[in-house]
Structure 1
């Protein structure tokens, strides 16, 4: 068992894949799998709450509840005062869970079918609650009994250890079960201090509300090794980007030319959006692109662009030789240049208003797909939508995208034949023929205007430095989030300062 490290590419499995693995893992040991899971939970409970006197186990009717019962047996035998609230009908549930109940009863564990309110009031921060209510099979809103248990955990002083997934969280999406993802503060769900993943990590812990609900993630693979089992990973954890010095013999032409096209002027719609394009250009510059060219759709030069950035009119750009970042602050003006950008650009990062224009125009959609036939580089296009832009491109709504971010990213990649960065909590990176990546760097500080423009410029710089679209997206997303994670706590993060911190 170990803490989930973001420095390693861990495989991410779905509930169906975990169930597919269970028979093979059971054959690896004479100990029943549920008993091994219960032992892992009990050991972690002792590690995170070594001075606990009271441990409350809230157990549901399925295998997750069986894991909790097995943990209760060990904790009881180790001298802890354990109470189990079993939220299940007598005789119901899987055979393994029924066997776990019998073992707990024979061991003398105190088991009841309700929340021990008075007993819980005696618990303090040294004690522990174990959430074993639902697990990876959860798909429906919580019933009254489960809600009572969750409310008790929320109101108590004791920290919470969830088994597999905090109750109330969708294990696939990281959204609340049956709830509106936009009202997280009003949602009744377990906010765990620790979550123990058994066999593999679920995607929902790494995206959406899962990143706030799961606390510290622990993993006990119970014998599962990706290299020794035939079940393919649904996704992989995105690994950090590490910088390396430029070779001494390199020159500015060795690191590619990035052209940023965007920045509609005040005259078009009464809003000056040149700053978005300047941010993307600044990011590409600081990330080490050999040369950066800014082409503003306003037709006017920017006084705020770094002096190192060249400014050039769109008609004078040699798109066939450039790594183009298009759409940042493009407004409606980007529509007039997109056909040429899609047809001629050697490599392309399409963001913001560029994506909105494509979503509204079937001809532009076809032009985007046709870029996959270019021979200049593998996956010569990266699109970087946030959930609303992704919904427009897919012809659905934002909630549908958020309910299955992995599916949405993969569908975008297949439909438009390009690499995709689906931004948000737990950014997903996809490309045709590649296994999805889920990124875990970054935090809420990035939820401000302009940080997406910075990311687009960073992706463009990495492509200019020789990476294909998918790999450039993976390293750029990881680095973008890591800079925010490393930001000094006493300093405000702005998009312009973020761009200047890139290397």
Structure 2
């Protein structure tokens, strides 16, 4: 068993893949072994997270997740705890493993209570796990979910909190809010994106004694992004070794967005950073950052640069998009550049054509921008973020970064990545522009679009996670923080 924290790469498997792994493993083990191991793992973690708990409510559902809870109750009683078991199952209808666990529970002399009563030191949510459909709990299950959330006791969910979809991270309105979640056999993508991170609390994994080779033949759904390595710069290098970035944006009234992206690119290691503002009356020097070089957009030699386009671009960015898309430059398209492309089929064609010329492109939409590109609603995008980002990557033949809780990165020919870093302190104006600039610097350094996105997204979120509580996080301070 291990605690899952950012930094390490982990394979993520959806519900269908996890069930195939489970069936394959069970074929080579004595009957009921996996459920027995699961129950032991749940009981062990219960002791670890609440060592002084005595009275423990185990809310068990009608399927195998409930069976895991029944098994856990047996161990907890043996270890001197007072398990209070409620169960929604019917012994005549439950799966064989759960029926066996029920019989073991009866043999241990543990009674099943009709309703939870009194106070508890710990609640174990073994109601649905990955077996439930995304529909609102009702009846007794709904009552128990409300009781768990209102108990005031720590909550340990088995596999996934009840009401969380393991594939998508979507939750029902009424769902268990876990303090800890023990994922069994595999890690599931829904634990890391959409509403998953808010629902799961601290995440743990127990593979139930299976060797990694058990799932070698099972197709991954995604990878959990890992902390990128930081290469030491050779002493015999110079500014030309790290590439030039040009930020094109900053229409009237939105100069700040372009400056934030430029500042981020500069501090993330770009050799030189040019700024092409889309405002004829804008500044020509930033006295706070004199390293930034301002140029008319028409004078920029795009083929020699990495271009970050769209930050604060407004409608004015439409004038330069065809030239940007037609260039051989590696390009990051953000904000208004994405919105304008979504409305213009000719620009979409030009975007797709870049892949045939082997030109690198990275799109960085938030959910609304992604919805515009796909011709869908935000709700549809957020309902299945992994499918949305994969669809975008294939439709436009480029790397796509779908921002949000559990930012997703997809690219044709690559297994998607879900990023584990970042928090709600990034929900402030300009942080997306900062990410675009960071990404531009990684492209300029020679990374592929997918690798540049993976590196920039991880570091962007990592900075927010390490940000001092007493210090306000603003886009401007984030932009200069890469090397801290």
TM-score under structure 1 length normalisation:
0.93
- Choose from 440, 444, 456 the match for 1:464: 444
Q: Secondary structure at the match of 1:501?
A: coil
Task: Single out whichever of 139-148 and 156-165 deviates more from structure 2.
Answer: 139-148
> Per-residue deviation at 1:5?
3.2
- Choose from 413, 420, 435 the match for 2:400: 420
Matched residue, 1:88:
89
CA deviation string 1:176-211 (max 9, x = no partner)? 12xxxxxxxxx3221111100001111111112211
In 2, the alpha carbon distance for the partners of 1:73 and 1:56 equals 13
Matched residue, 2:222:
235
CA deviation string 1:33-58 (max 9, x = no partner)? 11111111111111111111111100
What is the count of residue pairs matched by the alignment?
478
In 1, the alpha carbon distance for the partners of 2:382 and 2:132 equals 17
In 2, the alpha carbon distance for the partners of 1:464 and 1:223 equals 44
CA deviation string 1:306-336 (max 9, x = no partner)? 2101011111111111100000000000111
Asked whether 1:107 is paired with 2:94, we answer no
Asked whether 1:261 is paired with 2:223, we answer no
Task: Single out whichever of 468-477 and 94-103 deviates more from structure 2.
Answer: 94-103
Q: 1:260·1:281 contact (CA, 8 Å) conserved in 2?
A: yes
Asked whether 1:37 is paired with 2:38, we answer yes
Q: Secondary structure at the match of 1:162?
A: strand
In 1, the alpha carbon distance for the partners of 2:391 and 2:326 equals 23
Matched residue, 2:63:
62
Matched residue, 1:13:
13
Asked whether 1:278 is paired with 2:279, we answer no
Q: 1:301·1:311 contact (CA, 8 Å) conserved in 2?
A: no
Q: 1:199·1:219 contact (CA, 8 Å) conserved in 2?
A: yes
Matched residue, 1:209:
195
Matched residue, 1:130:
124
Matched residue, 2:138:
143
Q: Flag structure 2 segments of 5+ consecutive residues without an equivalent.
A: none
Judging changes above 3 Å, is the alpha-carbon distance between structure 1 residues 434 and 159 closer, same or farther for their aligned structure 2 residues? Answer: same
In 2, the alpha carbon distance for the partners of 1:104 and 1:292 equals 68
> Per-residue deviation at 1:95?
1.7
- Choose from 150, 156, 159 the match for 1:164: 159
CA deviation string 1:217-259 (max 9, x = no partner)? 1100123444452002100110013433311111111000000
> Per-residue deviation at 1:155?
1.3
CA deviation string 1:464-492 (max 9, x = no partner)? 00100000000000000001111111000
Matched residue, 1:245:
232
Q: 1:28·1:223 contact (CA, 8 Å) conserved in 2?
A: no
Asked whether 1:316 is paired with 2:310, we answer no
Correspondence 1:277-426 to 2 at 5 A: 277-302=258-283, 303-304=285-286, 306-375=289-358, 380-426=360-406
Give the root-mean-square deviation of aligned CA atoms.
Answer: 1.4
Q: 1:194·1:214 contact (CA, 8 Å) conserved in 2?
A: yes
In 2, the alpha carbon distance for the partners of 1:450 and 1:63 equals 46
Q: Secondary structure at the match of 2:311?
A: coil
In 1, the alpha carbon distance for the partners of 2:439 and 2:211 equals 32
CA deviation string 1:125-146 (max 9, x = no partner)? xx21100000012222211211
In 1, the alpha carbon distance for the partners of 2:210 and 2:259 equals 48
Q: Secondary structure at the match of 2:307?
A: strand
> Per-residue deviation at 1:301?
3.6
Matched residue, 1:52:
53
> Per-residue deviation at 1:90?
4.8
Judging changes above 3 Å, is the alpha-carbon distance between structure 1 residues 334 and 224 closer, same or farther for their aligned structure 2 residues? Answer: farther
Q: Secondary structure at the match of 2:59?
A: strand
